[in-house]
Amino acid sequence: MPPSSPPPGRSSTDEIVPETLFLSTIPGASPSKWVDRFTSRERRVQLVNHDVGAQVAFLAPGPDGSAPRGLPQLGYLRWRLDSTPEALLNAGGVDPADVHVVRFYEEDPVVCVGQDHLLAAWDAAADGPVPCSELDAAEQLDPARFAPEPPIDALDAPEVPGSGERMAVEIVATGAGHVVLPASVARMFGRKDVVVLPLERRGDAPEASDGHPGWGVGLAWLKTVDSQLVQDFVGAAKGRRPGSSRNDHLQASPAAPQGGATAAGASRSGKATTAGRNRAATKGAKGATGAGSKSSKGGSKGAAKGSKGSKGSPGSKGGRGGNRR
């Protein structure tokens, strides 16, 4: 087979220039699996690592009220579960009606203390998560106090992302105070001289108001920059195979509408019922055949016996004897 010729306007030596998706991330985010699933010869991902305080910068309008630049096209959002992503967007000067948000997972809270802190002796395996009532509010450190101002251009990432959380953990390591962080962030900035303990969540506390709500994490993008590139990455984050359609993914997803699941179940039930009826009918046919065969065999045996009886009857013998005489 002769080699295929290159498309018009492109020589065989031309290289494919991949399309780039800029993804805004926050401390604790680990998009590597999503990126690996999405990346190909035709497309790649450029990470822009931001502080959590700047997580809505890529969605916000410019300082003069101008329309957002639209880069990065997509980014992480993290919000407390006693609030909503819409409230987070409003606080950042973004109209929630202009943004798509897809929720992905929740994060547990942890408390970080120095090795010399009283709470460092807490045995989580024996006593469970630390109740929020054990924390002194006056000692709590807020990482936002040590974070830089959000950049004007969302493509300008800070030199040291997560500097606020990093500084808070360093202060805690000296034995001063404590800091409450998402578990993923605590792992990211963990130190040998800092003890990380699980914090009681709101649903697990004796009183609903005593526990920490935890955090929700999702991906967000402006509706005006929605594209096939963005949709493909969101699909990869959901586990959709490259090249598959959004409808195919929805049909195969465990979170498919209940109606589809019910219809599938009804179809399976219908098949099972039909198969059961067929098996019953087959058994019935076999039973009828077997019974008929046995009856026929019995009748044949009876007829055979009757035939033998008629052969051996006195009349028959007498008849044959009369002929001999």
Q: What confidence category does residue 191 fall into, taking pLDDT thresholds of 50, 70 and 90?
A: very high
Q: Can you point out the beta strands (E) in the chain?
A: 19-25, 43-49, 74-80, 99-107, 109-114, 179-182, 194-198, 215-222
- Mean pLDDT for 298-320 is 41
Q: What is the pLDDT of residues 281-293, one digit of tens each?
A: 444 444 444 444 4
**The residue to which tokens 């360093």 are assigned:** 170
Condensed to tens digits (0 to 9), the pLDDT of residues 19-73 reads 999 999 999 999 999 999 999 999 999 999 999 999 999 999 887 778 788 899 9
State percent of the chain over pLDDT 70: 68
pLDDT, one tens digit per residue, over 7-22 is: 565 554 467 789 999 9
| Residue pLDDT, tens place only, 140-163 | 999 999 999 888 899 999 988 999
Architecture in CATH for domain 19-245: 3-Layer(aba) Sandwich (3.40)
CB 110 within 8 A of CB 199: yes
User: Per residue, what are the HEC states of 86-135?
Assistant: HHHHHHCCCCHHHEEEEEEEEECEEEEEECCCHHHHCCHHHHCCECHHHC
Phi then psi for 298, rounded to 5 degrees?
-60, -45
Distance CA 310, CA 93 (A): 113
Determine the average pLDDT of the residues in 231-255.
66
**Separation between Cα atoms, residue 52 and residue 154, nearest integer Å:** 13
Q: What pLDDT was estimated at residue 266?
A: 37
Rounded to whole angstroms, the Cα distance separating 40 from 26 reads 24
What confidence score (pLDDT) does residue 4 get? 55
- Facing residues of 48 across strands? 24
The answer to whether 233 touches 38, Cβ cutoff 8 Å, is: yes
Please give the pLDDT value at position 65. Answer: 75
Residue 206: pLDDT band (50, 70, 90) is low
pLDDT at residue number 294 = 44
Domain-by-domain residue ranges, the chain?
19-245
| Overall average pLDDT of the 101-118 stretch | 97
